[in-house]
């Protein structure tokens, strides 16, 4: 079933009198439970596409149907509501607040969503257990390794039970072994919870671990490939 459908989607940025076509006639369908990568070189438009997929920005033209609802014309507050209900984000830089514990970092989306205080703590602890950090809930980010910090970021993305997780270069700051562990967590969550995962990356090794690769260049989709995923080779 189509969870995401983009129809003739375009995005134009204006700088003074200059217009730049960041995305041109994007037609894309992503089904529930897919595990895919959006790939392309720097400046290809993949980050712009992720921003539109995540309702962080609105397109200039075309339609974006998310779970059957046209979200392309929504205002900023309405898009924020959609994000809180359906979308989780994982970024390259972890984006954790340094002075609060892992569990408090994971609670943040629930606080912004005005969840009941008692359930916030319970849900945050459960999300940390899902990513293997049940024994690190009170640790500060500085007391965690890079891989553990990224696991906290994944738990934070999970805590609202999203339909989609968008991961922007999620292994960019990690070594090969830790990258493989993070992708394994993504895969497990995808298979066990049917969460749709979209990884935005320029790393071919990471892209090869997904089931489908969307190739983007100069603001256009130039390839859409489905393959059997590879296994990331690590060294001892």
Place of tokens 């970021």: 153
What stretches of the chain adopt beta strand conformation (E)?
A: 2-15, 18-31, 35-39, 61-66, 69-70, 87-91, 164-168, 196-201, 212-217, 220-226
Torsion of CA 157, 159, 160, 161, to 10 degrees: 90
3-state class of 11 per DSSP?
strand
pLDDT band (50, 70, 90) for residue 232: low
Question: Mean pLDDT across the stretch 191-218?
Answer: 94
C-alpha 89: how far from chain center: 4
Give the torsion sign (CA, 131, 135, 138, 141). Answer: negative
Q: In the chain, what are the domain boundaries?
A: 2-226
What is the SS3 assignment for 115?
coil
Q: What is the dihedral of CA 116, 118, 120, 126, to 10 degrees?
A: -140
Convert the pLDDT of each residue in 19-68 to its tens digit: 999 999 999 999 999 999 999 998 999 999 999 999 999 999 999 999 99
pLDDT at 174 over 70: yes
pTM of the model: 0.90
**Cα separation, 59 vs 21, whole angstroms:** 11
- Position 137 confidence tier, pLDDT thresholds 50, 70, 90: very high
pLDDT of residue 90: 95
Q: Residue 118's pLDDT is what?
A: 72
In the 8-state DSSP scheme, what is residue 171? T
CA-based nearest residue to 96, from 107, 87, 86: 107
DSSP one-letter code for 22:
E
Reduced to 3 states (helix: H, G, I; strand: E, B; else coil), residue 227 is: coil
| Average pLDDT of the residues of the chain | 92
Q: Are 70 and 6 in contact (CB under 8 A)?
A: no
Topology of the domain comprising 2-226: Rossmann fold (3.40.50)
Report the pLDDT value the prediction gives residue 38, as an integer from 0 to 100: 97
């Amino acid at each position: 079933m189509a969870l995401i459908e983009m129809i003739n989607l375009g995005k134009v940025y204006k700088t003074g009198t200059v217009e730049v076509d960041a995305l041109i006639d994007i037609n894309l369908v992503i089904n529930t439970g897919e595990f895919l990568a959006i790939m392309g070189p720097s400046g290809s438009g993949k980050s712009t596409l992720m921003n539109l997929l995540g309702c962080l920005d609105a397109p200039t033209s075309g339609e974006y149907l998310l779970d059957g609802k046209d979200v392309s014309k929504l205002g900023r507050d309405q898009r924020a509501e959609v994000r809180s209900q359906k979308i989780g984000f994982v970024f390259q830089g972890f984006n954790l607040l340094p002075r609060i514990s892992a569990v408090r970092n994971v609670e943040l989306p629930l606080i912004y969503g005005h969840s009941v205080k008692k359930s916030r703590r319970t849900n945050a602890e459960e999300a940390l257990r899902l990513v293997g950090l049940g024994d690190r809930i009170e640790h500060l980010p500085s007391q965690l390794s890079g891989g553990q910090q990224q696991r906290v970021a994944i738990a934070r993305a999970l805590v609202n039970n999203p339909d989609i997780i968008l991961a922007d270069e999620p292994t960019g700051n990690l070594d090969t072994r830790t990258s493989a562990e993070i992708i394994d967590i993504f895969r497990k969550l995808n298979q066990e919870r049917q969460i749709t995962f979209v990884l935005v990356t320029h790393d071919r090794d990471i892209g090869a671990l997904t089931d489908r690769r969307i190739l983007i260049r100069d603001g256009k989709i130039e390839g859409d490939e489905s393959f059997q995923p590879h296994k990331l080779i690590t060294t001892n």
